[in-house]
């Protein structure tokens, strides 16, 4: 895709773009493809290392300069008061590249006295620099093995049916 590097730094009233500048604009910053995966399968773990939440999707960028916008929405739950559940995004599997802040990830859930299902929303703009299939995985971990962390937590968590968790990938032209 063309990058609008031929555009003027500023525009003056009445200025007209050339055909080349208009074509450069037409190809830049567009959504080229969208891939989405949803599940209602509730997952749980008391592991203190990251495991998958079951939310994984793969996209094959059409250009190595494309960006990938990742959007995740899922309900989460902790089983134990006073402990954290941490959630993050990986390029690849949970053994791949952690795009968050190490063990802190992107988000944490904490139960201080009232059990509740917490909605988790995450968006991240990645630059995978490849035209190969690239997967993204939403991972979770507990900060203590005495605490179980849930994803796609539904009514009546920790037991009960799962809610819908979704991961969406959008290729954005650069």
Overall domain count for the chain: 1
Is residue 2 a part of any domain in this protein?
no
Whether the CB-CB separation of 149 and 85 falls below 8 Å is answered with yes
Is residue 130 a part of any domain in this protein?
yes
Share of the chain above pLDDT 70, in %: 87
Residue ranges making up the domain that contains 165: 30-172
Is residue 43 a part of any domain in this protein?
yes
Whether the CB-CB separation of 80 and 146 falls below 8 Å is answered with yes
Q: Using CA atoms in the order 68, 42, 46, 157, what is the torsion angle rounded to 10 degrees?
A: 130
Place of tokens 């994803």: 151
What is the tens place of the pLDDT at every residue in 60-79? 999 999 999 999 999 998 88
Report, as an integer, the average pLDDT of 112-123: 80
Is residue 89 a part of any domain in this protein?
yes
Share of the chain above pLDDT 90, in %: 58
What is the tens place of the pLDDT at every residue in 31-60? 999 999 999 999 999 999 999 999 999 999
Model pTM score = 0.82
Is residue 142 a part of any domain in this protein?
yes
What secondary structure does DSSP assign to the chain, as a single string?
A: ----TTS-SS--TT----HHHHHHHHHSS-EEEEEEEEE---EEE--SS-EEEEEEEEE--SSTT-EEEEEEEEEEEESSTT-EEEEEEEESSTTSEE-SBGGGBSEEEE-SSS---EEEEEEEEE----SS-EEEEEEEEESSTTS-EEES--TTTTSS----EEEEEEEE--
Is residue 3 a part of any domain in this protein?
no
Q: Which residue has the higher pLDDT, 3 or 100?
A: 100
Domain with residue 85: its CATH number is: 2.60.120.1340
51-74 per-residue burial string, b: 16 or more CB within 10 A, e: under 16: bbbbbbbebebeeeebbbebebbb
Report, as an integer, the average pLDDT of 71-91: 91
What is the tens place of the pLDDT at every residue in 137-148? 999 999 999 999
Is residue 125 a part of any domain in this protein?
yes
Is residue 21 a part of any domain in this protein?
no
What is the tens place of the pLDDT at every residue in 146-173? 999 999 988 766 666 789 999 999 999 9
């Amino acid at each position: 895709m063309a990058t609008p590097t031929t555009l003027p730094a500023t525009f003056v009233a009445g200025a007209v773009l050339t055909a080349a500048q208009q074509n450069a604009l037409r190809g830049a910053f567009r959504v080229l493809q969208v891939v989405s995966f949803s599940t209602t399968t509730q997952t749980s773990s008391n592991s203190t290392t990251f495991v998958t939440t079951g939310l994984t999707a793969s996209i094959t960028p059409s250009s190595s300069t494309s960006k990938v916008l990742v959007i995740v929405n899922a309900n989460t739950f902790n089983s134990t008061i006073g402990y954290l559940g941490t959630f993050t995004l990986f390029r690849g599997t949970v053994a791949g590249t952690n795009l968050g802040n190490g063990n802190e990830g992107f988000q944490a859930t904490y139960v201080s006295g009232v059990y509740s299902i917490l909605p988790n929303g995450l968006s991240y703009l990645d630059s995978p620099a490849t035209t190969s299939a690239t997967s993204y995985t939403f991972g979770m971990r507990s900060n203590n093995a005495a605490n179980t962390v849930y994803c796609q937590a539904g009514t009546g968590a920790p037991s009960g049916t799962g809610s819908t968790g979704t991961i969406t990938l959008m290729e954005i032209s650069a």
